Structure 1
Amino acid sequence: MYQPPHFRQERLEVQHELIRSHPLGMLVTLGSAGLVANPLPFWLDASASSLGTLRAHLSRANTQWRDFDSTREALVIFQSVEAYVTPSWYETKRETGKVVPTWNYAVVQAYGAMKVVDDPAWLMRQITEMTQGQEARQTEPWSMDDAPASFVAAQLKGIIGVEIEITRIEGKWKVSQNRPEADRRGVAEGLRTSEDDAARRMAELVEAFGPSPAST
C-alpha cells in the first residue's frame, strides 16, 4: 500500500480497533485463474499471535477455500469510513486558489498465510464469537441458543473455516493531516454539515488525528 508519512498508522491497537468496528474484510488470494476476492466478516483474536489472528467462514460452494496458492500471503482489507473532500472547505482556496479535491479514508491491510479449518467445534466457536460481538449492540441480543441445535448443526455442514495469523499489517488514515490547521478545521466543519453519517464520523477522525509532524 502506498504510504506517505503523513498518513501512516503504525499503532497496532488503532489498527485492531478499525478491524473490530468494521469486521467485513475483503479476502484476497491468488488462485489458478488469478486473483480472487470475497467480502467476509472476520473475528479478530488479538491474543492468539503477536499481531493478532483473523478467523472467518465461507460457504463450501465458494471455491476460494479450495483454489488458493498456500505459498503466497493472503490479504484482508478492512475499510472504515470514507468521504469526499471539496476544496471549497479549505481556507487555502480563498488565500491562493491552489487546491484540488481529494478523498479521506481509513484502511487496514492484514497479511498472512491462510489456513483452511474443517472442524465443527472451531466453526461453532468462530460463529458464536462473531455473533456475540455484533449482537451486543442490539437492544434484544440474539443468541446461537435461540435456534434449534439440529438447524445450527445442518448450517455448519455448509460452511468451512479460514484462519490467518497476521504476519504483517499496515494502517493508513488519510484524514487531512497534511493540511494547514485552517484547512483541517474547514474540512471538519464541512463534513459535519453533511446528512451522511459516514461524513460526520469522518469529521471526528479529522479532529481526532490532527496534523502530521511533517505539516507543522
Structure 2
Amino acid sequence: MYNPSAFVVDDLPQLHQQILATRLAILVTDGEQGLQASHIPLLLDAEQGPNGTLYGHLAKANPQWQELQNGADVMVIFAGADAYVSPGFYPSKAEHGKVVPTWNYVAVHAYGQAEVFSDAHRLRNLVSALTDRHEATRAKPWKVDDAPADYIDGMLKAIVGFALPIQRLEGKRKLSQNRNAADIAGVREGLAASADAQDQALAHLMVKE
C-alpha cells in the first residue's frame, strides 16, 4: 500500500494488536482465477514464525480455497478505525485557506502463502478457538460442544481450513502526523466532538499517538 514514512508502523506488537482488534479481515488472493476476496474472521498465533501465523477457514463451495491450495499469493487486510477529516478542523484554514479534505485511518496488510487442511480434528479445534474468542464476552457463551456431535461433524465437512505464515507485514497509521501541532489538535478535537463512534475511536488513537 502507499505508505509515506510519516505513517509507517513497523513495530511487530503494534501490528499484531491491530490484527487482533480487527473482527473481520479481508482475504485477497491473486491466482489462476484472478483476484478473489472473502470477508472472514481469523485467529493469530503470534508465537508461530517470525511474524506470526494466521488461521481461518472457507466454505468448500467457495473456490478461493483452491487458489490457496495452488500456492496463490495472499494479502490479508485488517482495517482499523477511520474518519473523514474536514478542512474546517484545521486552524490553518483561517490563516491561508490552503487546505483540502482527507481521510485518517489505520490498516495492516499481511502477506504470504497458505497451507490448506481438511483434517476433522484440526478443523474442530480451529472452529472451537474462533467461537470461544468471539463468545468470550457473552454472559452465557455458546460452545461448539453445545451442538449435536453429528451435526458439527457434518458442518466441518463443508469447510476447508488454512494456515498462513506471515511472510511480510505492512502497517499504516494515518493520524494527521504530516500536519502542524495546531492542525493535529484541531482534527483530534473535531473528531472527538462527533457523535460517530468511529470518529471518536480515531480521535482516541490520536491522543495515544
**Alignment TM-score > 0.5, same fold:** yes
- Separation of aligned partners in 2, 1:69 and 1:5: 35
Which residue of the partner structure matches residue 205 of structure 2? 205
- Separation of aligned partners in 2, 1:33 and 1:135: 35
Which residue of the partner structure matches residue 106 of structure 1? 106
- Separation of aligned partners in 2, 1:174 and 1:16: 17
| RMSD between aligned residues | 1.4
Go from structure 1 to structure 2 and tell me whether the alpha carbon gap of 1:71 and 1:148 turns closer, same or farther (over 3 Å shift). closer
What amino acid sits opposite 1:152 in the alignment?
I
SS of match in other structure, 2:160: strand
Greater Cα shift, 195-204 or 147-156: 147-156
Matches within 5 A, 1:56-95: 56-68=56-68, 70-95=70-95
- Separation of aligned partners in 2, 1:30 and 1:61: 18
Go from structure 1 to structure 2 and tell me whether the alpha carbon gap of 1:116 and 1:198 turns closer, same or farther (over 3 Å shift). same
What amino acid sits opposite 1:124 in the alignment?
R
Which residue of the partner structure matches residue 36 of structure 2? 36
Deviations 1:135-171, CA, capped at 9 Å, x for gaps:
1122322222222222211111110001110011010
For the Cα contact (< 8 Å) 2:68–2:116, is it kept in 1?
no
SS of match in other structure, 1:98: coil
For the Cα contact (< 8 Å) 1:42–1:130, is it kept in 2?
yes
Percentage of identical aligned residues: 43
For the Cα contact (< 8 Å) 1:32–1:68, is it kept in 2?
no
* Structure 2 unmatched runs, 5+: none
What amino acid sits opposite 2:176 in the alignment?
S
Matches within 5 A, 1:1-216: 1-68=1-68, 70-209=70-209
Go from structure 1 to structure 2 and tell me whether the alpha carbon gap of 1:193 and 1:116 turns closer, same or farther (over 3 Å shift). same
Alpha-carbon distance, 1:72 to partner: 4.4
For the Cα contact (< 8 Å) 1:30–1:68, is it kept in 2?
no
For the Cα contact (< 8 Å) 1:177–1:206, is it kept in 2?
no
Greater Cα shift, 190-199 or 64-73: 64-73
Aligned length: 209
- Separation of aligned partners in 1, 2:114 and 2:133: 23
For the Cα contact (< 8 Å) 1:188–1:206, is it kept in 2?
yes
Deviations 1:14-36, CA, capped at 9 Å, x for gaps:
11111111031111112323111
* Structure 1 unmatched runs, 5+: 210-216
Go from structure 1 to structure 2 and tell me whether the alpha carbon gap of 1:79 and 1:175 turns closer, same or farther (over 3 Å shift). same
SS of match in other structure, 2:5: coil
Greater Cα shift, 7-16 or 69-78: 69-78
